[in-house]
Amino acid sequence: MKKINTSNVTSTSRQPFLGRSITHMTEGITENDDSIIQGILSGMNISYTSNDVIILYGCVNSGSNSGAGNPYTVSAGAVYYNGEVYQVDAASGVISGSNVVIGTLTTTYQTGDPVTMTDGATKNVHQIRKFVISQGTSGTGTKDFSDFGTIKRQYSLTTNATQNTTSSTFQDVTGLTYTTPDDGLTRLWLIIFKGYSTCTSSVGDGQGCQIYNSTAASVLDSVEVFQDETANTLDQRIPFTCVYIGLLSPNVQIKARFNSLAGGGVNTVQNKLICVQL
């Protein structure tokens, strides 16, 4: 922590207040803010990457991020960007052409600047640095608003009643997909795919189940449920659960998948895909 030691100041021994003294105090405030935010992110298992913009509070767009003629209305708030905290004023407008809503780090100066220096020169010194919300071509601001991250915990629950297959190739369970936020933040996730399996007509068959990372083409977890052990095609429902805990990058698509182990008819029933940021 940076601070100025004033214990040596007395009525007969004055301490000069220098330019580096102001810099020292400003750096101390910035470093303290950075440490607090980094502590919050670490506690939420969020990895910060340089040039990410993270919403700390507010900054809710009750309109659209793109689309000609669509209105946007972003509330006031604050964001964290490359070690510093910036205020965001409320903004609204109507999107023109192919523009998108953008945020741009902007510096203005306090009313009363410039000030007169001791050498007679006039300088702007009282900076006001904010993220200004506006519209423009994608990539022309500091960050497109749609790419702003958030420290709110993310979660998703999707369901599927019943689906049948006779294929031994894994099939997507309709509707059971989730894509991690495309905001530049790597997060720790708990993902659960659960349901029941029944066989419809085959003997000696069963069902395979997967949590599948479609973006990386990799299986995160899998289980197999075997049925018809006694050559009986009238099976009871057998529960299954796949579980994955691990870090996932932004914009990763997760799918629940199933197949028939021996090519007979299987039903996957009362399916749920649960994705929770830890």
Interval 187-241: pLDDT, tens: 899 999 999 988 766 556 789 999 999 999 999 999 998 875 555 555 567 899 9
- Average pLDDT score, the chain: 90
Write out residues in the chain with pLDDT < 70, as ranges: 200-204, 228-236
User: Residue 4 has what pLDDT?
Assistant: 87
What residues have CB less than 8 Å from 19, skipping those under 6 apart? none
State how far the Cα of 83 lies from the Cα of 106, in Å rounded to an integer: 16
User: Residue 70 has what pLDDT?
Assistant: 95
CA distances from 250 to 108, 154, 174, 202 (A): 33, 12, 22, 41
CATH T-level topology, domain 155-277:
Jelly Rolls (2.60.120)
Domain boundaries, the chain: 48-150, 155-277
Q: Assess contact for 248 and 187: CB atoms under 8 A.
A: yes
User: Residue 234 has what pLDDT?
Assistant: 54
Retrieve residue 11's tokens. Answer: 């009525």
Retrieve residue 132's tokens. Answer: 């200004």
User: Residue 11 has what pLDDT?
Assistant: 86
pTM, two decimal places: 0.70
User: Residue 126 has what pLDDT?
Assistant: 94
The number of beta carbons lying within 10 Å of the beta carbon of residue 206 is 22
Q: What residue has token string 């919300």?
A: 133
Interval 149-173: pLDDT, tens: 888 788 899 999 899 999 999 999 9
Retrieve residue 96's tokens. Answer: 């023109």
User: Residue 206 has what pLDDT?
Assistant: 85
